[in-house]
Amino acid sequence: MDKFHIVGPTRLAGRVRASGAKNAALPALTASLLTDAPLTLRRVPHVRDIRTLQKLLDHLGVVTEETGGALILRRERPNPEHDAPYDLVRTMRASVLVLGPLLAKEGHARVSLPGGCAIGVRPIDQHLKGLTALGADVQLTHGYVEATAARLVGARFRFDMPTVTGTENVMMAATLARGTTVLECCACEPEVVDLANLLNAMGAHVSGAGTETIVVDGVESLGAAEHAIIPDRIEGGTYLIGAVLTRGDVTLEGASAADLAPLLDKLAEVGASVEVSAEDIRVQGAGDIQSLDLETSPHPGFPTDLQAQYMALMTRADGVATISETVFENRFQHAPELARMGADIRVDGGRARVYGPKPLTGAGVMATDLRASACLVLAGVAAQGETVVDRIYHLDRGYEGMELKLQKLGARVARWSVPMS
């Protein structure tokens, strides 16, 4: 199991390029199940979640070829079961994104209930309710979802809460349904918009993505398309938070300032200098960082996927910051690890109070989920002395070459590969 060995403190400074968004690439790859024609996807990040999904897609008959920096996916040999077995699904919750496309295209899908990050219960009831509203017969047996429909039929459906992958799953299914589907209370995340753009390039009729109401006029079939995945706002945002945490100066290339607005506003409020140009975003950490409360919420609110990194920042801020996590119920697992590095954090249910500023000191810490890992790595870069972050496989799920990017910014980070005993 790999670890990161970090010697701090260092001031992060320089230029770094955002990779393609993992959370936009995952549904884009599953859209290959909606068509017999090839999909050409550019800017797909080299991260473990993508490789995990490729294995599952391979099982479902999708042949993937990588040429000239693009992934070309084509379902050439569909397996008659249309099944996503537990072994291939358990490590990644987003595997459930194969359900909507398979059902819509093949009339049948059998998908294991997913696993994923240990950050809450994370049910998929909204995915299933949405597909049921489109006329699917959905049964839960032996840990599997079994869904059947001769052909899905357009309907009006309102999600009980905005769910990103839920919106994506039902939106994909609706593209091949007979008639019009109106989805209400949809997630408005940029990744949903990116998927809608891809589906439209394939010949779908999707409108309203990025708002709470998405309308899909079903078509008979979808065709080939070429599409570039949007930049990863969470990955890019992580380096920008690192700039402020280490009083550094980081320029993020190729990112969308509009998608990062909730973070950029916050960084300016805590006292950083934020400059946005057509090509890049430059963030400089000033002398003192102000403590500021934070509440996560669905887009366009502050993303839950940057909450852990923001908590690392608040350990070095002047005053007390209350961080409220409203999206997931168990997403403060980084708090006790930060405390091992000298932070003073008290967690009470969905709220954490961070008492700053506290000097951080290097320690051995354990990554518990994807974004918690990023938080601990940033803290290690800012801390005095040596930090070893264990269970880096969580980080590898979603950050492309993080140690290389951090090294380029001046951090002393090395990957230690430890053979499994």
- Distance CA(54)–CA(29), nearest Å, equals 8
- Shortest reach from residue 240's CB to ligand UD1, in Å: 18
Q: What residues contact 257, with CB distance under 8 A and at least 6 apart?
A: 264, 276, 281
Does the protein bind ligand UD1 through residue 126 (CB under 6 A)?
A: yes
- Here's the x/- map for ligand UD1, 12-41, by CB under 6 A: it reads as -----------x--x---------------
Give residues 235-254 in contact with ligand UD1 (rule: CB under 6 A).
Answer: none
Which candidate, 225, 220, 217, places its Cα nearest to that of 194? 225
Catalytic residue among 117, 186, 188, 375: 117
- Shortest reach from residue 319's CB to ligand UD1, in Å: 27
- Distance CA(129)–CA(178), nearest Å, equals 18
CA 266 to chain centre: 20
Does the protein bind ligand UD1 through residue 373 (CB under 6 A)?
A: no
- Distance CA(338)–CA(358), nearest Å, equals 11
Does the protein bind ligand UD1 through residue 140 (CB under 6 A)?
A: no
Active site residue 375: no
- Shortest reach from residue 99's CB to ligand UD1, in Å: 11
Does the protein bind ligand UD1 through residue 294 (CB under 6 A)?
A: no
Give residues 299-338 in contact with ligand UD1 (rule: CB under 6 A).
Answer: 303-305, 327-328
- Shortest reach from residue 29's CB to ligand UD1, in Å: 11
- If the CB atoms of residues 187 and 343 are measured against ligand UD1, the closer one turns out to be 187
Does the protein bind ligand UD1 through residue 163 (CB under 6 A)?
A: yes
- If the CB atoms of residues 147 and 341 are measured against ligand UD1, the closer one turns out to be 147
Q: What residues contact 90, with CB distance under 8 A and at least 6 apart?
A: 112, 114, 115
Does the protein bind ligand UD1 through residue 52 (CB under 6 A)?
A: no
Size of site (CB under 6 A) for ligand UD1: 23
SS3 content of the chain, % helix, strand, coil (to 5): 35, 30, 35
CA 122 to chain centre: 14
Which residues are bridge partners to 63 per DSSP?
74
Q: What residues contact 249, with CB distance under 8 A and at least 6 apart?
A: 11, 12, 13, 14, 243, 282, 283, 284, 285
Does the protein bind ligand UD1 through residue 94 (CB under 6 A)?
A: yes
- If the CB atoms of residues 234 and 413 are measured against ligand UD1, the closer one turns out to be 234
- The burial of 136, by beta-carbon neighbours within 10 Å (0-12 exposed, 13-18 middle, 19 or more buried), is given as buried
In the complex, which residues of this chain contact ligand UD1 (CB under 6 A)?
23, 26, 93-94, 120, 122-127, 161, 163-166, 187, 191, 303-305, 327-328
Task: List active site positions.
Answer: 117
